[in-house]
Amino acid sequence: MKQSFLNNDRIYLRAVEPEDLDIMYEMENDPSMWDISNFTVPYSRYVLRQYIEGSQCDVFADKQLRLMIISRSDHRVLGTIDITDFVPLHARGEVGIAVSKADRQQGYASDALQLLCEYAFDFLSLTQLYAHVATDNEICMKLFTSCGFVQCGLLKNWLQVGGCYKDAAIFQYLNPKKH
């Protein structure tokens, strides 16, 4: 068994800390990210502070897990990666990832997604992870495919963005040790 999870030579993933409030506030309230989420209103600092304080950092207790993506070289926050909609009975959860604009296209999302999958499958013993990706987001579709996810479905007019509807692809990654 792997001795250490959630880190490689470039990044590490860690639990949310109180000092992450400002970066979370900035990322959660970026309208360009809303089309990939279910947000309908901005988050207040108060609500985010309550989330940080109330989280047990236990996917089984919280039914979700948010981790910060951190640069190993300078310990700077690069983004977040989540398991949401966690269903213990079926041992599955949805993956979400957000990398700051300045840090995109440098392989950090791929590193983070690979680390999360290893943790989810090898430590948490999840059966599967899945993601919904807008079909016009080619970079994100390539990211999930490159990390072992397989497109297994298409949801027509799933995401409403700026008054127009977009299709979303469903990507799924089955735990190779359980199938």
What average pLDDT is seen over the chain?
A: 89
For residues 63 and 157, give the distance between their C-alpha atoms in angstroms, rounded to a whole number.
27
Higher pLDDT, 83 or 163: 83
Q: 40: buried, middle or exposed (CB in 10 Å: 19+, 13-18, 0-12)? A: exposed
For residues 97 and 120, give the distance between their C-alpha atoms in angstroms, rounded to a whole number.
15
Structure confidence at residue 37 (pLDDT): 62
**Domains of the chain by range and CATH?**
11-126 (3.40.630.30)
For residues 4 and 15, give the distance between their C-alpha atoms in angstroms, rounded to a whole number.
15
Structure confidence at residue 26 (pLDDT): 85
- What share of the chain in percent tops pLDDT 70? 93
Residue-wise pLDDT for 25-59, tens only, equals 888 877 766 666 666 667 788 888 887 787 777 78
Helix (H, G, I), strand (E, B) or coil at 8: coil
For residue 12, what are the CA distances in angstroms to 33, 40, 137? 23, 30, 25
Closest of 42, 50, 43, 44 to residue 18, by C-alpha: 50
- Tokens 């970026």 correspond to what residue? 30
Helix (H, G, I), strand (E, B) or coil at 17: coil
Confidence of residue 10 (pLDDT cuts 50, 70, 90): very high
Structure confidence at residue 114 (pLDDT): 97
Residue-wise pLDDT for 106-130, tens only, equals 999 999 999 999 999 999 999 999 9
Confidence of residue 147 (pLDDT cuts 50, 70, 90): very high
- Tokens 């989330």 correspond to what residue? 51
Q: What is the pTM of this model?
A: 0.89
For residues 86 and 138, give the distance between their C-alpha atoms in angstroms, rounded to a whole number.
26
